[in-house]
Amino acid sequence: MNASLPSASQSMNVTKVKPNIGAIVTGVDLSRPIDEATKKALHAAVVENVVLVIRDQAHLTSAQVQAAGEIFGELMEDQNRRYLVDGHPLISVLDNFHKDSEGKPAKVGKNATWHTDHTNQEFPPKFTMLYAVAVPDKGGATSVCNTRAAYESLPENFKQKINPMKTENTLLSSARFKIANPDVLKAQLSSTKLPTIQPLVRTHPETGTKAVWFHKGKTEKIIGMTPEETQDFLQEITDTITQPEFCYAHEYQKGDLLIVDNRASLHKAGFDYDHSQQRRLYRMLVRGDRPY
């Protein structure tokens, strides 16, 4: 670390948003060196609060955004490679101003249903990070649900029912084909990859706690159910766990860096904003462990 630059740990402050979820970090400048103690404190704050927001980072270059992401672990490629930051292929771009080949708004970053990322991969990301480059005047929040706390609140008999359940995950479930992004649909139909089996209730590798964990749009079926029964059952679970006390909707300020612990949460994008205004987020993913 360069001794001429002060450590960010000197002024770091973490403020909880809600008892069950969310915290805001101020006093950290991610363009400056971050010492090991601060890195560990930031990591612990994400795990404890499930979603962490580091404020006041609007001055970062793309290279500094990537370096900030690497504080939390090894970055991995996003499955959607259509829009990337020039020179930084590990940073994908979610922007409502993107256009498809017909000049219509592109279906990028428009997952308005509760999910966790990349469940079709053997090693899905442990953290998803979103950096606010341009934001509308209001709306466009990213909502996160603490599925660890939600799981703990479930009746014991329901926990016992879902604990052993396994899901089969693909790039896109057959129930979602008709509303698919054409690029995603093409890749899905041409794929010969077998479904990835994942637990419906995931154990956190750091805390040992359990959490409900799935991506409805990538779950072909729960083993023992039909695809249609699966979609209905996952919706029932979603409606049960996404209670206000377990959820936090973060409305961005420019320069916010939001970090979500995917191993204990679901999240979704919000589209309740003036779409003549730009909502541009950079997304980074931290490589995770095999779920169990």
Would the CA dihedral through 20, 22, 25, 29 be positive or negative?
A: positive
Q: How far is CA 65 from the centre of its chain?
A: 17
Res. 239 pLDDT band, cuts 50 70 90: very high
Residue 188 scores a pLDDT above 70: no
Q: How do strand 142-146 and strand 265-269 relate by DSSP bridges?
A: antiparallel
Q: Which two tokens stand for residue 154?
A: 């479930």
CA distance 185 to 193: 14
At 9 the pLDDT is 45
The partner residues of 16 in beta bridges, in order of sequence, read 23
DSSP code, position 99: B
pLDDT in tens, 205-236: 999 999 999 999 999 999 999 999 999 999 99
Domain ranges of the chain: 8-286
How much is the average pLDDT of 44-53?
Answer: 98
Is the pTM of the predicted complex or chain greater than 0.85? yes
Query: pLDDT tens, 58-92?
Result: 999 999 999 999 999 999 999 888 899 999 999 99
pLDDT in tens, 51-65: 999 999 999 999 999
Instruction: Identify which of 126, 24, 35 has the alpha carbon closest to the alpha carbon of residue 73.
Output: 126
- How many angstroms separate the CA atoms of 33 and 46, rounded? 19
The CATH code for residues 8-286 is 3.60.130.10
